[in-house]
Amino acid sequence: MHLAPRQRDILEQVRERGYVSIDELVQAFAVTPQTIRRDINQLAEKGLLRRFHGGAASDSSTQNTAYAMRATQMREEKRRIAEAVAEQIPDHASLFINIGTTNEAIARALQNHKGLKIITNNLHVASLLSSKSDFEVLVAGGTVRADGGVVGQPTEDFIRQFRADYAIVGISGIDEDGSLLDFDYQEVRVSQAIIDNARQVWLAADSSKFGRNAVVRLGPLSVVDALFTDAAPSKTISQQLKQHKIALHLV
């Protein structure tokens, strides 16, 4: 496949780092943002990467972007999503919070609440919220991943002991057919247990998750009661939201 030298270099950076912003590429190649966007669009059309608002990412369906890179992607959008979710959570509620950097932003946004009971398999969430003396934080046991997620059969068994008011769920991808997708089978099993044991299930997903590929199917979009995101989804996904009466919160 013929690629211009700059496009080959852009692709190499994206593959090495998982995600690269347009601003970083502009500085690296001393060209205009329009030039970089044009390169990214051409590479995306060839199926070599995925374009996002503000940058580009690799398009592997089998391996997630490294945690350090995910933590910096769509940071402002995640912050707005987090504030919108936190506004809807009442004091003295019980909630599950699963793995994901958006959920970690939500944990930060919840720190002004009172009397929350949090059940989580995310060590970063537990660390953020355990400093609040009026919060009760319960952490699932299991295998600890490098990104602070806890997974495995013991994790799933622990989750199934509870019935929470809310589940705050993150996801790696939302297919056009409404399938919720992730990369880790064990993580998906825990998320399914969380969904099964919550009265309300809220999906927190920035717009880069729409149409993103991942190999493990968590379930259909219809398992959630509300979607919090930063941009309107496609017409196909919007129709499913209406069909299943899923509340859409745009921030």
Q: What ranges in the chain are assigned the alpha helix state H?
A: 5-17, 22-29, 33-45, 67-70, 75-88, 101-109, 123-129, 153-159, 185-196, 235-243
Nearest to 243 by CA among 222, 219, 225, 228: 222
In the prediction, which pLDDT does 204 show? Answer: 97
- Distance CA(196)–CA(105), nearest Å, equals 24
Please state, as a whole number, how many other Cβ atoms lie within 10 Å of the Cβ of residue 17.
15
Taken in order 245, 89, 84, 168, the sign of the CA dihedral is negative
Taken in order 132, 137, 141, 143, the sign of the CA dihedral is negative
Domain ranges of the chain: 5-59, 74-250
Report the CATH architecture of 5-59.
Orthogonal Bundle (1.10)
Residue count of the chain: 251
pLDDT by residue (tens digit) across 75-92? Answer: 889 999 999 999 999 999
What number is the average pLDDT over the span 174-199?
94
pLDDT by residue (tens digit) across 127-139? Answer: 999 999 999 999 9
Query: Who's near 30: CB < 8 A, 6+ residues apart?
Result: none
- Distance CA(16)–CA(10), nearest Å, equals 10
Q: Is 3 exposed, middle or buried (0-12, 13-18, 19+ CB in 10 A)?
A: middle
pLDDT by residue (tens digit) across 37-78? Answer: 999 999 988 778 888 777 887 765 445 555 556 556 678 899
Does residue 148 surpass a pLDDT of 80?
Answer: yes
What number is the average pLDDT over the span 124-128?
96
Please report where in the chains the tokens 């059940």 appear, as a residue: 119
Contact 230, 187 (CB under 8 A): no
The tokens describing 203, both together, are 């999906």
Q: Which CATH class is domain 74-250?
A: alpha beta
**Residue 165: alpha-carbon gap to chain centroid:** 21
DSSP β-bridge partners for residue 149: 122
- Distance CA(246)–CA(233), nearest Å, equals 13
The amino acid sitting at 70 is: R
What number is the average pLDDT over the span 160-173?
96
